Amino acid sequence: MSAIIDDLRKERERFVAFAFAAAEIFFEIDTTGIILFEGGAVEKVGPERGGSSLVGTSIVDVIDNDDRDVFIALKMHLEYKGRLGPIPIRFTSSVGHNLALRLFALHMPGANSRTFLSLRSAPLGGGAGEQSTDKETGLLTRDSFLNLAATTMAENTTHNSLYVTAVEIDGLDEAQKKFGPKFTHNLLGRMAAQLKTLSVDGEMAGQIGDKHFAFLHRTQGDGDYIGESLKKVDDKVQLKTSVSTIAADNENISEGQILRTLSYVLSKFCEDSSSVDFDQLTAAYETMAGEAQARVTSMRSMIESGSFKMAFQPVVSLVSSDIHHNEVLSRFEGSVDGDSPKDIIEFAENVGMIEEFDIALCKKAIDYIRKMKRLGEPLNLAVNLSGRTLESSRFVDQFVSLLKDAKDVARYIVLELTETKAIKNIEKAEALLNDLKATGYRVCLDDFGVGASGYQYLRSFNVDYVKINGSYMHDMDKPDYKPTFLLSIVRLCADLNIKTIGQHVETQFQADFLKSLGVDFGQGYHYGRPDFSPKTNR
Ligand code: C2E
Ligand code: CA
């Protein structure tokens, strides 16, 4: 212990010298927070006081109310860490707005315990300043945390150690039940302050799930320490914590790979905190890559053998109630209303296999229509087609020739264009779609209304149908709902001679509403859930 104190003592000399050189403001405080010494531009903080000193008053009085939790956490961690910083913190000031400063702190333990605070102006260059944070806790959102952590890890060329720790906190629900939301809000604030204070630059802590948090830090033991420390954040509540720390040994992997690995590890942790036992990022990366490889292999064999199924959901005319066509929705599990295929489709998109899948699905749909035609019961199907397939130099020819060879069923098929944001070369996609339309296929723009780009595709692509994003259906149920946006879609489409389809229609009320606005077709549970056999008018 005395060696540590010796070291700290030496460091104290350096720190004080350094602080005076680099700090704009400098304070020395005792264990209760009373200012013992002040230096630099101290008149910038606190109320207007005509040159009189802050010595003898409490530092807490000049810290912004919202950041008092940060200061309390800082004092607590200092006893264990010795030194901390930089940490963003706001002070009150006489100029009307608060003063954002970066704080470095050094703690001298012992009988005559002292803490030195060095403060500088805080241009938050490149840090959490541009990221999205939760307004209540100031913690980064999951995505912002992942991005910031991955960038910091990738840019860590100084070879200083970096660690990511994920924390699960159990007992917050009970605390809320017992003491109410105000109490938990305050509790979360104090926890967030603790996480932030120990994190790199005092701002690399995020909330990654309902009861899951993560922070990036420089000392390995901080992970276990914070687990213990958060448990005791308030005597009134019983909390349980579970932590997992992973070291950033990421020299041979790219920033994108770091990002995906972190996302993978943190998702696993949120699902089951005891399932994550990676010590190092590269080990997690290899496991993730292995799992992805196995998924790719099974996806490929599924595509090759065609061992996925088509479910059908009717699209109904709002005027005549006739079934106009069925949308094909893929099913990879046995049951029709089991897991949504969304994850598998997204995975296929991410690993560059959606093109082969689209081709396999179109083959299946073409075969099915031919079979039904032979039986004298031809039917119209809409198949989802990823924008990526139209972009792909490897697969687009194969896709187009498959469709051109199926001219006999072209008039029964609607190509429902999804993932349009993947389309970079609009002119090329436009030419391809026009070519397919000339062969007899119809084209539908899926999920219109989310993102601004929809209008651009609507202008460029000569489509027959526009499918309105399902989120608008739920809005209709609100009492003060005004259908401004829906009406503008309907009018625009009518001018362009495009038919509209409302999806996720779940109630008669929604169906009537859509009809009154002039929407042409409806699709949703109200008319029928996806089913392995298509609904027809017969
Ligand atoms: P999507 O193209 O927007 O398909 C509509 C989704 O909404 C389907 O989910 C459908 O089951 C669901 N749905 C239908 N009616 C209602 C309703 O009334 N209320 C609500 N809340 N949902 C309703 P599903 O089958 O889970 O498919 C999810 C997504 O997966 C699809 O969204 C589509 O993007 C993708 N997908 C499915 N099959 C294929 C495929 O064969 N190829 C491609 N590229 N994507 C597919
Ligand atoms: Ca669709």
The structural domains of the chain, ordered by start, are: 2-120 (3.30.450.20), 131-294 (3.30.70.270), 306-522 (3.20.20.450)
How far is Cα 102 from Cα 341, in angstroms, rounded to an integer? 48
Give the per-residue pLDDT at 17.
67
Contact between 502 and 531 under an 8 Å Cβ cutoff? The reply is no
125 pLDDT more than 50: no
Nearest of 441, 484, 486, 444 to residue 461 by alpha carbon: 444
What six digits make up the tokens of 421? 């944001």
Q: Which residue owns the Cα nearest ligand 1 atom 41?
A: 330
Cβ neighbours of residue 134 closer than 8 Å, sequence gap 6 or more: 140, 141, 207
pLDDT at 8: 67
Residue 452 has pLDDT above 80, yes or no: no
Q: Is the CB of residue 360 below 6 angstroms from any atom belonging to ligand 1?
A: no
**Cβ(389) to ligand 1 under 6 A?**
no
Q: What is the pLDDT of residue 132?
A: 82
Residue 19's pLDDT band (boundaries 50, 70, 90)?
low
Q: How far is the CA of 370 from the centre of ligand 2 (A)?
A: 22
Closest CA to 44 of 112, 86, 100: 100
Output the six-digit token pair for 338: 């089991």
Three-state SS for 193? helix
Return the pLDDT at 129. Answer: 52
Specify the pLDDT at position 471: 87
Q: How far is CA 447 from its chain centroid? A: 20
With 60 as the cut, is the pLDDT of residue 436 above it?
A: yes
State residue 51's pLDDT score: 84
Question: Can you tell me which residue has the tokens 């999205």?
Answer: 132
* Residue having the nearest C-alpha atom to atom 31 of ligand 1: 342
For range 193-215, the mean pLDDT: 94
Q: How confident is the model at residue 449 (pLDDT cuts 50, 70, 90)?
A: confident
Asked if 304 and 510 touch (Cβ cutoff 8 Å), the reply is no
Lowest mean pLDDT among 85-89, 239-243, 503-507: 85-89
Q: Is the CB of residue 482 below 6 angstroms from any atom belonging to ligand 1?
A: no
- Around Cβ 6, how many Cβ atoms within 10 Å? 10
Residues in a beta bridge with 384: 416
Count of residues making up the chain: 538
Q: Is the model's pLDDT at 347 over the cut of 60?
A: yes
Distance 143 CA to ligand 2 centre (A): 26
Which of 315, 336, 345, 392 to mutate to test ligand 1, by most ligand atoms within 8 A of the CB atom? 345
Tokens of 226: 């914070």
* 117-131 mean pLDDT: 66
Q: For residue range 400-411, what is the model confidence (pLDDT) as tens digits?
A: 999 999 999 999
- For residue 513, the CA-to-ligand 1 centroid distance in Å is 22
Asked if the bond preceding 483 is cis, omega within 30° of 0, the reply is: no
Per the prediction, the chain carries an average pLDDT of 90
Whole-number Å distance between alpha carbons of 386 and 394: 14
Q: Is the pLDDT confidence value at 333 over 80?
A: no
pLDDT confidence of residue 123: 59
Helix boundaries (H) for 62-180: 68-81, 142-154, 172-179
**pLDDT tens readout for residues 254-301:** 999 999 999 999 999 999 999 888 899 999 999 999 998 898 898 899
Q: What is the structure's pLDDT at 40?
A: 85
> Distance between CA 274 and CA 29 in Å, rounded?
42
CA of 342, nearest ligand number: 1
Q: Does 23 score more than 80 pLDDT?
A: no
pTM recorded for the entire structure: 0.67
Q: Is the predicted pLDDT of residue 190 greater than 70, yes or no?
A: yes
384 lines ligand 1 (CB under 6 A): yes
Q: pLDDT at residue 126 above 50?
A: no
Task: Determine the distance separating the centroid of ligand 2 and the alpha carbon of 209, expressed in angstroms.
Answer: 29
H-assigned helices in 23-170: 68-81, 142-154
Cα distances (angstroms) measured from residue 81 to each of 108, 114, 163, 220, 413: 11, 14, 16, 12, 67
Residues bordering ligand 2, an ion, CB closer than 5 Å: 384, 416, 446
